[in-house]
Structure 1
Amino acid sequence: MNQQANTQGNKRKFNKLYAMQLATIFLGFIVFGISENIKGPAIPRIQFDFNLDEKQLGTLLSLNALGYLIACSFTAILVRKWGIKAVSIISFASMILSGVFIYVSHTYPLFASSYFFMYIGNGMLEIALAILGARIFVKNTGTMMNLSHFFYGLSSTVAPLLATGVMSLTVFGYQLDWRGMYLVMLSLCLLPIIAALRSTFPGDDLAHEDRTSLKTLTRDPALWLMVLILSFGVVSELAVGGWLVNFLEKAYTWDMVKASGLLSAFFLTFSLGRLLLGPLTDRIGFVLSLILFSGFSAVCTFVALAGGESLAIFFAISGAGIAMIYPTVMAFIARRYPNGSDTAITFTVTLMGVGSVIGNYVIGWVIEGVKNMYGATTQLGLLRGLQAGYGFIGLCAVICAASGVVLYVYLKRRRELI
């Protein structure tokens, strides 16, 4: 009888612990999506308040990538020294602190420094959440990774609307505006801090000698193929947000509302893909999933380009495929490198960050190059340039699928297919 009571007590304790772990990750992805996507409505007001020209604004936004890459370089080291729980809490706390700094910044140098600090925290948070997922989701890994990233997509979708609403609020006779909005929205990071404090996370007690070293990991061809898959997949994913509206407005002369509507449809299929298709990755295997989903996205992109304005909806449908790449890669890493997931994740995500910066530069270079071939000042030149640039986005998805095929063959020969 006592043994049964102890078993039930341990089960309740385990369920409560797992619930806190899930709350930390899900809430973490929600605030992560909010922090990355509230800048849209704030940027015009920031530019006006500080009287910034386009070059200064571009420099400010480039802090995103720089802070992200710097954070990638040291987060895994901190995890090994202090543990993932401490690093997760520090990541969330740094986001709150950056909100305070932004709120009190009334000179451009102070604001730019605060903004840079926010993206350091943002980069730490992305790595920390990926490591948390890799350690906790030992069962149904693909499903749970995709579900976690669904919360990121969901909060990313509503973040601009929330930001706009909060900026218009008046508290004690004072309008919050963009500074108050950043303070309020980033303060939401307090919620996952509470969940993390009430939880413990596996892996921190693993002895240093039991961890897989970076040197060992980089000798594995599978990891390098994962870098290719992730880099080209993320370029194809992120480029849509930057180029789709521009393409539709200039190539098809759509108005901003209609073009933005199709981009919203892309994010809708993107989020639904992660919510509904996650279980499929566990069923058919991670590598096969990467091939099929990236291939699907590529086909949809080229159908949309070939079909012209009448088939533009396929631009949106492609989101369901490309959405699966990042979380499925994280699931693969978690399964293949159980004792070195933090190092493997940091390595692949850092190289992905470099690749995404290069990829977006190449898209712009392709558009300009093809436009000049057909006549830089002609409508035909503009159309062909935009088609070529968006074609490169589809090509990235093709390379992602092709790299997956190479990985599939390599792992199958070694009987290590996941």
Structure 2
Amino acid sequence: MKHTRLTFAAFVVLMVGLGSSDSLRGIFSPVFSSHFALSATQLGLIVTVSYIGNLVFLLVGGNVIERFEKKKALLALTGIWMAALAVFAFTDNYYLLLAGMFCAMGASTLLNTTLNLVTPLLFASSPAFFVNLLFFTQGIGTSGSQSLLGRYATDIGFWHKTNLVLLALGAAAVLLLAFSTVPGPRADGPHPAKRQSGVLKNRAALPLVFVFGFYFIAEHGVMNWLVAYATSGLGMEQAKASNYLAVFFGGVMLGRLVLSPLVDRLGILKSMGVFGSLSAVLYIAGVVGGAAAMPLWAASGFFLSILYPTLVMSIRLFFPHGQVAGAAGTIISVASLFDILFNVGFGRLVDTLGYGVSIYVLPLAMAAFIITFLAFSRGHGKEQQKN
């Protein structure tokens, strides 16, 4: 039990750091633009490189880490993440910034996914509660950094100092991990490339790619476009629109804390069906109803909160133990292409058709997510194990 607490403490420290690190790109965008004299295209390349990092690390790394003990894999990934933080802290070059973003976001996403898969092995009696609690702590890092750093992120010097603080947090996580016992032995057997081929042959792989892909569009669409739609499409004041976004992500944080015990009681797939349906109803009604229904859209974050971590947990229901990390990496990386294509195309759609029509892509994605998931879960019959 002592080792379990120490291991989970290491995970918590790491997730707070990852949550904070992931939010810095948006917070410091104006600083990057001014300091490096970036065009809009060059500033946008920072986001694009981050997504490519996610794609590469998940697609390749998810299968590679199966060949190593999970503790060694976590330490190696944390080392890559910290190396990127060191680049941010000690260099002052746009191209090194891009390289750092590739490694930082890629390692962060793969760490996030790996922790999601390892945590249930620590807490067999209530895995969903602790997975969602872990994501709650990540939310503290994300929202806390947005609230605190947003006030002081005025120059490149503060960017360097912020990454030094995150480096110290990463060092604390490494120290805790070094004395922890992380479950999940190295997977012996086929080469990672062969195991990846086995993942793609599994009949659950393709439906899960679509489930994750539609979900990414729905959730990330809120983060990237709710304020722009509310202000430019509905004529709402910036402060009011930002409040709705804050309520949405506040609901995500609160929901992970409040709803996670219910996931353990209901089981993974049933929880996804219940809370996914509730969030879809509020989400779709909130968009279709226009300005008057914006509170419903914001409130959907509460039920949407547990969907992603629980969805990642569900992968282990459909793949052999030795394939789970590789399956998660492959499925999430391929699904992230939905996200990339959406972000490339949605802006052009707005320029062509306006927000009034274009915004319906989001509720359509949410509807496609829940319909695809329900069809997929029913097609696989009863849940093999309740957790």
TM-score, normalised relative to structure 2? 0.90
Secondary structure in 2 aligned to 1:312? helix
Aligned to 1:333: 315
Of stretches 46-55 and 199-208 in structure 1, the one that deviates more from structure 2 is 199-208
CA contact (8 A) 2:19 2:138 kept: yes
Aligned to 2:189: 208
Is 1:68 the counterpart of 2:37 in the alignment? no
In structure 2, relative to structure 1, the CA distance for the partners of 1:139 and 1:343 (3 Å cut) is: farther
1:184 to 151, 157, 165: 165
Matches within 5 A, 1:167-182: 167=153, 176-182=157-163
Over the aligned positions, Cα root-mean-square deviation in angstroms equals 2.6
Aligned to 1:402: 371
Deviations 1:143-178 (A, max 9, x none): 222222122222211112232466579xxxxx9422
Q: CA deviation at 1:184?
A: 2.0
Is 1:194 the counterpart of 2:204 in the alignment? no
1:105 to 91, 97, 108: 91
Amino acid at match of 1:197: A
Aligned to 2:80: 94
Q: Could you tell me how far apart the structure 2 residues matched to 1:318 and 1:139 are? A: 28
In structure 2, relative to structure 1, the CA distance for the partners of 1:215 and 1:306 (3 Å cut) is: closer
CA contact (8 A) 1:33 1:152 kept: yes
2:241 to 225, 247, 259: 259
Aligned to 1:364: 347
Deviations 1:204-250 (A, max 9, x none): 25543699933443333233222222221122111101000001101
Q: How many residues align?
A: 384
2:114 to 103, 124, 128: 128
1:29 to 2, 5, 15: 15
- Report percent identity of matched pairs: 20
Q: CA deviation at 1:64?
A: 0.6
Q: CA deviation at 1:359?
A: 2.8
Secondary structure in 1 aligned to 2:277? helix
Q: Could you tell me how far apart the structure 2 residues matched to 1:22 and 1:336 are? A: 26
Secondary structure in 1 aligned to 2:322? coil
Q: CA deviation at 1:403?
A: 1.4
In structure 2, relative to structure 1, the CA distance for the partners of 1:325 and 1:365 (3 Å cut) is: farther
Mind listing any 5+ residue stretches in structure 2 that lack a counterpart? none
Amino acid at match of 1:289: S
Q: CA deviation at 1:409?
A: 2.0
Deviations 1:119-159 (A, max 9, x none): 33323323332332354343322222222212222221111
Is 1:285 the counterpart of 2:271 in the alignment? no
Secondary structure in 2 aligned to 1:21? helix
CA contact (8 A) 1:75 1:128 kept: no
In structure 2, relative to structure 1, the CA distance for the partners of 1:321 and 1:405 (3 Å cut) is: same
CA contact (8 A) 2:64 2:326 kept: no
Query: Greater relative contact order: 1 or 2 (C-alpha under 8 angstroms, separation 6 or more)?
Result: 2
Q: CA deviation at 1:44?
A: 0.8
CA contact (8 A) 1:96 1:187 kept: no
1:152 to 138, 145, 161: 138
Secondary structure in 1 aligned to 2:201? coil
In structure 2, relative to structure 1, the CA distance for the partners of 1:328 and 1:56 (3 Å cut) is: same
CA contact (8 A) 1:245 1:260 kept: yes
CA contact (8 A) 1:46 1:178 kept: no
Q: Could you tell me how far apart the structure 2 residues matched to 1:216 and 1:105 are? A: 42
Deviations 1:5-52 (A, max 9, x none): xxxxxxxxxx11110221122222211111110223311112111111
Larger Rg: 1
Aligned to 1:297: 279
Of stretches 399-408 and 334-343 in structure 1, the one that deviates more from structure 2 is 334-343
CA contact (8 A) 1:166 1:181 kept: no
Aligned to 1:249: 231
Secondary structure in 2 aligned to 1:318? helix
1:274 to 235, 253, 256: 256
2:31 to 24, 38, 45: 45
Secondary structure in 1 aligned to 2:359? helix
CA contact (8 A) 2:15 2:134 kept: yes
Of stretches 58-67 and 303-312 in structure 1, the one that deviates more from structure 2 is 303-312
Mind listing any 5+ residue stretches in structure 1 that lack a counterpart? 1-14, 170-174, 372-384
CA contact (8 A) 2:317 2:384 kept: no
Is 1:220 the counterpart of 2:202 in the alignment? yes
Q: Could you tell me how far apart the structure 2 residues matched to 1:330 and 1:218 are? A: 16
Q: Could you tell me how far apart the structure 1 residues matched to 2:45 and 2:191 are? A: 43
TM-score, normalised relative to structure 1? 0.84
Deviations 1:343-371 (A, max 9, x none): 221121111221221233343354344x2
Secondary structure in 2 aligned to 1:52? coil
CA contact (8 A) 1:266 1:315 kept: yes
Q: Could you tell me how far apart the structure 1 residues matched to 2:80 and 2:152 are? A: 21
